[in-house]
């Protein structure tokens, strides 16, 4: 039986690749030879020319937020715009909540 593929991203190239998951070896970008970031199987890549969406994605990935499926469905809420990211970062700074948790909140009070 074949193993399911998962998504990997290269932020400098703004490229997404589906590859089998491997803990033993690091996946390398075929364009720039940099290591790929494992983002999860529930990831949908933005268009390459959408710089705002890729900036938002880089903030999420650098904060440790992934796009892994849960037992009940998809990965849950993820901000799609820089404005939503700024709101959640401000909330995290005000309340002391970890950034990775604040970024995946549905509503910011």
Per-residue pLDDT reduced to its tens digit, 56-106: 999 999 999 998 876 666 678 889 999 999 999 999 999 999 999 999 998
What is the share, in percent, of the chain residues with pLDDT greater than 70?
93
Mean pLDDT of all residues in 23-44: 92
| Confidence (pLDDT) at 38 | 94
Q: Which of 15, 13, 35, 39 is nearest to 26 (CA)?
A: 35
Angle between helices 51-62 and 82-95 (to 10 degrees): 30
- Please, which pLDDT band fits residue 39 given cuts at 50, 70 and 90? very high
The per-residue pLDDT of the chain, averaged, comes to 90
State pTM to two decimals. Answer: 0.85
**Kind plus residue range of the DSSP H or E element containing 76:** none
**What distance in Å separates the CA atoms of residue 61 and residue 4, rounded to the nearest whole number?**
22
Q: Which residues pair with 18 in a beta bridge?
A: 7
| Confidence (pLDDT) at 109 | 80
| Confidence (pLDDT) at 72 | 66
């Amino acid at each position: 039986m074949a193993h399911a593929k998962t998504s990997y991203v290269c932020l400098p190239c703004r490229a997404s690749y589906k590859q089998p998951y491997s803990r033993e070896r690091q996946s390398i970008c075929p364009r720039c030879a940099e290591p790929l970031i494992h983002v999860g199987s529930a990831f949908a890549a933005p268009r390459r020319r959408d710089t705002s969406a890729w900036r938002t994605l880089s903030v999420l990935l650098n904060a440790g937020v992934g796009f892994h499926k849960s037992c009940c469905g998809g990965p849950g809420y993820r901000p799609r715009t820089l404005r939503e990211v700024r709101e959640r970062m401000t909330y995290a700074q005000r309340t002391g909540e970890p950034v990775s948790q604040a970024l995946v909140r549905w509503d910011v009070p």
